[in-house]
Amino acid sequence: MDFSLSEEQTAIQELARQIFSDAVSDESLRAVDKSEAVFDTALWKQLAEANLLGIAVDEAQDGMGMGLLELCLLLEEQGRHLAPVPLVPALAQAGLAIARFGSDAQKRALLPGLVAGDHWLTAALQEGTQPAEAPGTTAARKGAGVVLNGVKSTVAAADGARAIVVSARREDGTPGLFVLDPTSGGVALEPRRATHHAHVATLRLADAAAEPLGAGTGDALAFTLARARVATCAVMLGVTAEALRRTAEYVGSRKQFGKPIGTFQGVALRTADAYIDVECIRSTLWQAIYQLDSGAPTAGRAVALAKWWACRAGQRVVHSAQHLHGGIGSDVEYPIHRFFLWAKAHETELGGASHHLALLGDALASGAAA
């Protein structure tokens, strides 16, 4: 079987790599850190002009009509370059959910503008230590509409977003997704900077008016969480692959006792272990994408396994990168620490290693496919 990328997929990967390489540098990242802008809006427009923001949006909404695999190729390159744009929340969380479950009116109102780069979307799926599968935020009928009550933590790029897709528990106890206008009454945003310097916010909802995503039927939350977790794994793959590349380059040029430190057995073994970890992240990521796209009954387990590898192995790789850079790795003017911060921030996104190991254990113990 041939698992290599198609010409079209390779072209997408190369285009994304070129745009990020030209637009993102260590110097530009320092400038973004000091800026009050929510993210790099100039880069956002460049991605829109290349139609990469529409990579997983149907052609009817001006997108490219491609799938999760192509989106993950874009996200891997984002992670490799640490590009400061909200691709995961806008495209993989809110965008995919609206494209799959949104009403025609919701799609027309939100997706063409996203593709054009005129606005961005985000999602509020996390509530501190509460499992993302069981939101504590509630959705209750009020008159002809729905109101939301609760608190969402770490909502990326919330300030200025056109809409926020919010997970909440319906009155019958089942979870669902709702579309929220962040400028409406009952919505309070408390902005802050995340570990990796990204702009995030705590979202407080007090009888905030919202509308169900589409007909409000089907397991929209499970669909969205699975793809959002895979998207996070793709970012982690890019982060760890580039951290390892830079580390290999450093230990190959840094000399001690008259020879490159990479020739010492301890250093060589640590970099070799990191290479194995990166390839395990890659393999489990592509397996999860394949199973989701093919509708395999074991897709849930594949996603949990991919996320576990991205969390656990990802941390090993960036820890090794920091360690093998020695003292210079502790200098915040030197860029290697950024990969550690990005990996740390994405490790706990929608559940960390322990959470996904527990999901795997539950599935195995029950004999369930997913």
Give the tens place of pLDDT for each residue, 204-220: 999 999 999 988 777 99
With cut-offs at 50, 70 and 90, classify the pLDDT of residue 263.
Answer: confident
- Tokens 């003017």 -> residue: 333
CATH 2.40.110.10 fits 123-212, yes or no: yes
Give the C-alpha separation, 182 to 165, whole Å.
10
The class (CATH top level) of 7-119 is mainly alpha
Of residues 28, 111, 23, the one with CA closest to residue 338 = 28
Give the C-alpha separation, 299 to 297, whole Å.
6
With cut-offs at 50, 70 and 90, classify the pLDDT of residue 350.
Answer: very high
CA distances from 132 to 152, 202, 298 (A): 10, 15, 20
DSSP 126: -
What's the pLDDT score for residue 336?
94
With cut-offs at 50, 70 and 90, classify the pLDDT of residue 60.
Answer: very high
Contact 289, 69 (CB under 8 A): yes
What's the pLDDT score for residue 352?
93
Element (H, E) at 211: strand 199-212
Q: Would you list the domain boundaries of the chain? A: 7-119, 123-212, 220-366
Element (H, E) at 336: helix 336-347
Q: What is the pLDDT of residues 159-187, one digit of tens each?
A: 999 999 999 999 999 999 999 999 999 99
Average pLDDT over residues 23-38: 90
pLDDT above 70 as % of the chain: 98
Contact 244, 250 (CB under 8 A): no
Q: What is the pLDDT of residues 277-334, one digit of tens each?
A: 999 999 999 999 999 999 999 999 999 999 999 999 999 999 999 999 998 888 888 9
Give the C-alpha separation, 251 to 254, whole Å.
5
pLDDT above 90 as % of the chain: 82
For residue 1, is pLDDT > 80? no
What's the pLDDT score for residue 329?
84
Give the C-alpha separation, 3 to 19, whole Å.
26
- Tokens 């745009």 -> residue: 19
For residue 29, is pLDDT > 80? yes
Average pLDDT over the chain, rounded to whole? 94
Contact 93, 101 (CB under 8 A): no
What's the pLDDT score for residue 99?
96
Cα distance between the two ends of the chain: 25
For domain 220-366, give the CATH number.
1.20.140.10
What's the pLDDT score for residue 2?
64
Give the C-alpha separation, 10 to 341, whole Å.
29
Across 116-125, 193-202, 259-268, least confident range: 259-268
What's the pLDDT score for residue 144?
80
Taking the model in full, what pTM does it have? 0.94
Element (H, E) at 148: strand 145-156
Give the C-alpha separation, 343 to 240, whole Å.
8
With cut-offs at 50, 70 and 90, classify the pLDDT of residue 275.
Answer: very high
Average pLDDT over residues 74-100: 98
